[in-house]
Amino acid sequence: MEEKDKILNITIDGKKTAVKYGTTILTAAKRLGIEIPTLCYHPALEPYGVCRVCIVEIKRGKRTRVVTSCNYPIQDDGLEIFTESERIKRDRKIVLELLLARCWSSPEIRDFAAKWGVVDTDLQKTENEECILCGLCVNVCRDIIGQSAIGFESRGVDRKTATPFGKPTDACIACGACVYVCPTGCIKMEDLPKERRIDRWQSDVPILICKNCGKGFGTVKQLEILKTKNPLTKLYLEKCPKCREKELAEVMVRKGGF
Amino acid sequence: MTFFKNPAELNEYRNKLQADYAPHSPYIAVCGGPGCSLMGSPDVFQAFQEEIAKNGLTRKVRVKLTGCHGFCQKGPLALIYPHKTLYVSVKTKDVREILEKTIERDEIIERLLYQDPVTKEKIVQESEVPFYKNQTQLLLGNNRLIDPKSIDDYIRIGGYSALCKALFEMEPEQIIQEIKKADLRGRGGGGFPAGVKWETCREAHGNIKYVIINADEGDPGAFMDRALLEGNPHSVLEGLIIAAYAISYGVSPAQGFIYVRHEYPLAVKYFTNTVAQARECGLLGKNILGKEGFNFDVQINQGGGAFVCGESSALMASIEGKPGEPRAKYVHTVHKGIYNQPSNLNNVETYANVPLIINNGADWYRSMGTEGSKGTKIFSLVGKINNTGLVEVPMGITLRKIVYDIGGGIRGNKKFKAVQTGGPSGGVIPESMLDLPVDYDELSKVGSMMGSGGMIVMDSDTCMVDVARYFLDFLKGESCGKCTPCREGIKQILVVLNRIIEGKAKEGDLERLVELGKAVHDASLCALGGTAANPLLTTIKYFEDEYKAHIYDKKCPAGVCRALVTYSILEENCTGCMACLKQCPQNAITGEKKKPHKIDTEKCIKCGVCYETCKFDAVVRK
């Protein structure tokens, strides 16, 4: 039998289960109804494993170690996993405190930390920082949208997300995927009458006007990209979703169904 | 240069080189290592060349600017064969005299000999100098004999004979078994068995095997790999080619890389030259030495200056052209490394050991070292020690032997306090553990690590809280910032440490430091973060009292942390010489001639100039 077809028997917090080789701990735990906190995990993206709040303790033979559940592929039969061991509780509390100290001004992070038992910290707090550097915006822009408009800049405590050289970039189509995945809501997007603005990336992109109703929807650059990747006609793409629906409904009424 | 179509041609060429060599005629090896170079050895070398030419001695005397000999403290070094007379601190003005007396008349120049600081005895032969006497220089030893730019020199001393043996007398699996039997462990820090790594890489599924040299030596004060690359680069390349053959031959194609930091321009230059020579000689390229189907070449990659790029996954990302950041290694790089293909990464020193093991056999190699660590290890011995330099010792030697017998003890007859091993993310080992045998497992057991081989000796004037702060500050700057515990944790540890050093410590700070340190250790993504807390946790473990003195008594016992120190003048010792008064930059010292002086603590900035200046021990630091 190929390795990837193997079924492995494991336990999570004492509950026995069987999983396919390579299943992540997070997925296996979810199936058992065991909740593990996550921040930089998004089901649409490859796990990045950097926020470290999803840490769990694993035991193989006599050896125990701390791993991140979002990207640890289960490869051994008999693996024991503990999501709430003393060591994990202590380490996770510190990780949450570190995030809380960094993003004290983010209500989302304060709520998240509170949910997992950390309401305050005596660590040095940073003012006006809401980004936890989870990388979801960077990864969604590269892996899902295919634009790579943003990336990381500097290293260590100076690390931040930015456009190349911190300047406005043509690569940003203001699709808003980064805004959608951001767990702290620190990327703000605003639709003005004529353009869509994402301040964080200094992006101002003209809004696409519906050929039918004249209302704004999406951005002109989004359309340009979609046209190259999509078999749908330009005529169809240039109408807003509402008008598309309406048109479809009219056709159906005329024809009396599909 | 000759192109060798088969091992016989290479052997024949070596025999010819050896026959032409005349081993008994004088040869001067001027050390061109980084330390000696800074002290002017290239000028000394040039002076030798000029004088030799001027006096028509070119046929009689050979002189070479070689790689590092190790004894940096006494550079520039000149080693004179055939008697292996060692001259230390050689200046250009000494050159003519050396040629006239030592070379022409076989006389010794007393003045240039090494003098034992204890017995005051002058030592003639290099091997009798205590610094060298206790070493086993398997890897560094050849540095003296060759010009690192010359493949002929390397071939002459037996170079590439191990490659011939590996390619034509051994099967790839046999080589792997030999390396496994020799128990060669990774010299880069982790100490993972190289043979096991090679075997896993050979068996891993993939279209190509990448075989990589890690020469991204980033620890402050460490230059072991540099000494090998700048002293004997062909030995490293030979090890790599053997590894490539063992890992790939018969299963898939292979490609080599060396990742060398750009701050080592000479290493880059020499290795580039080495690779070019090897290609010309048929030691790289297609059907190497006539071995059907063994094709291998090496690409040179320069690191951009990030410490974290010494970590395997970050190094591989960097080779791919991506930002040098580590990734989770739950699937190891031997399975999925560069471009997701099986990749074998070893350190420079690991590869340099390979030809020795192939030539002399695993049993010979196993005869040196301890149960779990075999062979020798190069350390860079620095800090408050009399003999700084590179030392190569058999595994299992005690720290005491390294510090006192080889290192010559603590500078200025001060008291030994601790030794930091394993670079910035290693740990601190106190005096009570000086008899610890140096091997991978023993060092980890006490909370430190072998690391790549940095060894920083500290004396009683060193404050351990300050040491922890220094290393964590280094790591804060080198953290890539990808994961939370390393990026934020090190920063927060430093906040607490700075508070302690400034005398503003709070109740519970010590416990908080331990808690933070453990979380950074457990939860970080890569080994840099995982070991970053080592300097903190080991200083707390072994010097807890010193932390407590800082936190509770607001005192720095070593007198290092300015905010916790006060200077005053002992009236009975003060002669009123006014020396301190004149030196004080703040005019904080008042007094008249021949009357005891006083320090105004309000004005004093605690620079310590008065303390250094006073010849009568009248200034006290508390």
* Residue B368 near residue B374 (C-beta atoms within 8 A): yes
Mean pLDDT of chain A: 93
Identify all chain A residues contacting B518, using CB atoms and an 8 Å cutoff. Answer: 90-91
CB B109 within 8 A of CB B102: yes
Residue of B nearest to A89 (CA): B519
Choice between B429 and A214, residue whose per-residue pLDDT is larger? B429
Q: Quick one: pLDDT band at residue A258, thresholds 50, 70, 90?
A: low
Which among A49, A94, A101 is the nearest to B515, CB-wise?
A94
Over residues B170-189, mean pLDDT = 95
Taking CB atoms and an 8 Å cutoff, what residues of chain B touch A159? 480-482, 487
Which chain B residues in 441-480 lie under 8 Å from chain A, judged by CB atoms? 476-480
Q: Which two tokens stand for residue A95?
A: 């990780």
The pTM score is 0.92
Decide the pairing of beta strands B209-215 and B343-347. Answer: parallel
Contact predicate B113/B125, CB 8 Å: no
Chain B CB contacts of A153 under 8 Å are none
Residue B431 confidence (pLDDT): 94
What is the least distance, in Å, from the CA of B529 to any CA of chain A? 11
Closest CA to B233 of B288, B151, B172: B151
State the Cα–Cα distance between residues B594 and B575, nearest whole angstrom. 6
B488:A73 CB<8 A: no
List, for residues B194-232, the tens digit of each pLDDT value.
999 999 999 999 999 999 999 999 888 889 999 999 999
- The C-alpha atoms of residue B356 and residue B352 are separated, in whole angstroms, by 8
C-alpha–C-alpha distance, residues A75 and A84, integer Å: 21
Nearest Cα neighbor of B520 from B486, B470, B474 is B486
Residue whose C-alpha is closest to residue B137's, from B55, B42, B63, B67: B67
Give how far B244 is from chain A: nearest CA, Å.
27
User: Distance between the two ends of chain B, CA-based, in angstroms?
Assistant: 68
Alpha carbon distance A214, A209 (integer Å): 5
What ipTM score was computed for the predicted complex, to two decimals?
A: 0.92
Q: Per the structure block, which two tokens stand in for A239?
A: 């109408």
Measured between CA atoms, how close is A246 to chain B, in angstroms? 47
Confidence tier at A1 by pLDDT (50, 70, 90): low
Instruction: Please report residues of A whose CB lies closer than 8 A to that of B524.
Output: 52
Which tens digits make up the pLDDT trace of A148-189?
Answer: 999 999 999 999 999 999 999 999 999 999 999 999 999 999
How far apart, in Å, are the Cα atoms of B72 and each of B77, B380, B617? Answer: 8, 10, 33
The pLDDT score that the predictor gives to residue B453 is 87
Residue A24 CA, chain-centre distance (Å), reads 17
Percent of residues, chain A, with pLDDT higher than 90: 77
In the numeric block, the tokens 């008008």 are attached to A243
Q: What is the spatial distance between Cα B525 and Cα A133, in angstroms, rounded to a whole number? A: 14
Return d(Cα A170, Cα B545) in angstroms, integer: 59
Q: Which residue of B has its CA nearest to A156?
A: B481
Give pLDDT tens digits for B511-528. 999 999 999 999 999 999
Question: Any chain A CB within 8 A of the CB of B495?
Answer: yes
Which contiguous run of DSSP H or E holds residue B390? Answer: strand B389-394
d(CA B91, CA B76): 7
Position A169: which residue type? T
The 3-state DSSP class for residue B74 equals helix
A61 band by pLDDT with thresholds 50, 70 and 90:
confident
CB of B326 within 8 Å of a chain A CB? The answer is: no
Cβ(B537)–Cβ(B521) below 8 Å: yes
Helix or strand or coil: residue B571?
Answer: coil
Predicted confidence band at B72 (pLDDT cuts at 50, 70, 90)?
very high
Residue A167: φ, ψ to 5°:
-105, 160
Instruction: For residue A90, list chain B residues with Cβ-Cβ distance below 8 A.
Output: 515, 518-519
pLDDT of residue B58: 86
For range B48-66, the mean pLDDT? 92
pLDDT tens, position by position, B396-454? 999 999 999 999 999 988 999 999 998 888 889 999 999 999 999 999 888 888 887 88
Please provide residue B576's backbone torsions phi and psi, each rounded to the nearest 5 degrees.
70, 40
pLDDT tens profile B152-164: 999 999 999 999 9
Q: How many CB atoms lie within 10 A of CB B594?
A: 10
Tell me the count of A-B CB pairs closer than 8 A. Answer: 98
Could you tell me how far CA B2 lies from the centroid of its own chain? 35
Tell how strand B589-590 and strand B598-599 pair up.
antiparallel
